[in-house]
Amino acid sequence: MPLQLWKYQALGNDYLVVDLPAPLEELERLVPTLCHRHYGLGSDGLLAFDPKAMSVRVFNPDGSEAQRSGNGLRITATHAVLVHGAPKTFEMTTQAGPSQVRILSSLGPVVVSELNIGPPSFRAADLPALVDGEPRRVALETPAGRVHAALVSVGNPHAVIFDEVVDERRAVQLGPYVERHPMFPERTNVQLVEVIDRAHARIEIWERGAGYTLASGTSASAVAAVLMREGLVDDEVTISMPGGRLQVRKDAGGNLVQTGPAQRVYRAEVELADLEGVLLPSPPP
């Protein structure tokens, strides 16, 4: 039987969504092919959504599983509204735990939602990172140069890098080395940040398991958390990414709340058997 998939994007960060129950074991094996831009449908990952449990599993394009994705959660919320008639407020669960969702508007295929992802943690052990305590910055030696990063977890790990050129070239140059640095036994997401003023910062992103990406909700929240901790921005900040802007604020309880749109792009029926045996090119060394 054909498998039904939906494609969504949030600020250019695109995901395929599948409703459970589905042949998840087979899907997991085929994630790299499904997500490949030339050999499959093409996406930044796969979201496996259980509409009864209101839970979602997040798979990266390389087949690994992420604890959480901010854009992925807002995309899943959009899917829950458009396809399953979800209410204005509900809870969504990932490996990182529950997140509160509030739907702000729904117009055609576009849904704007507010996502509460809880408080950030600056404990290195929560990423995990092989350093003690809650360091403000750590120095990382890489083949692309020495960098200084702030460490934070928002349900998944992040290394926020300061004092670098914030552009795609440098993100692609540094990203693979920082992601897989020995400091991070489970790898990490990577952001280059430039503070514009107290209400605005700009970032470039290298995502764990996905590579260079146009936007990331957890990356935006992680950067906001670090900048707020260091007193560089106020408790509400706009994070600009190549794919667009995300609003992040810290509420009275210290939780990070992000607001932004997600859009349904298409619906497809896929024969998984058609993807069997596709030989993907080997990644560069």
* Residue bearing tokens 């995901």: 15
Q: In this structure, are residues 155 and 117 in contact, taking their beta carbons and an 8 Å threshold?
A: yes
Residue whose token pair is 């045996």: 277
pTM (2 d.p.): 0.93
pLDDT at 283: 67
Query: Given this model, what pLDDT does residue 140 score?
Result: 97
Are residues 83 and 40 part of one domain?
yes
Q: With 70 as the cut, is the pLDDT of residue 225 above it?
A: yes
Q: Which domain holds residue 204?
A: 124-254
pLDDT, the chain, mean = 95
Task: Supply angle C-alpha 134, 155, 228, rounded to 5.
Answer: 55
pLDDT for the residue 285:
55
Q: What is the mean pLDDT of residues 49-68?
A: 95
Length of the chain: 285
- Residue 74 shares a structural domain with residue 139: no
Do residues 225 and 203 share a domain?
yes
**99 and 205 in a common domain:** no
- Identify the pLDDT of residue 1: 78
* 130 and 242 together in one domain: yes
Whether residue 282 lies inside any domain: the answer is no
Cα–Cα distance list, 87 to 7, 104, 181 (Å)? 21, 11, 42
- In this prediction, residue 281 carries a pLDDT of 81
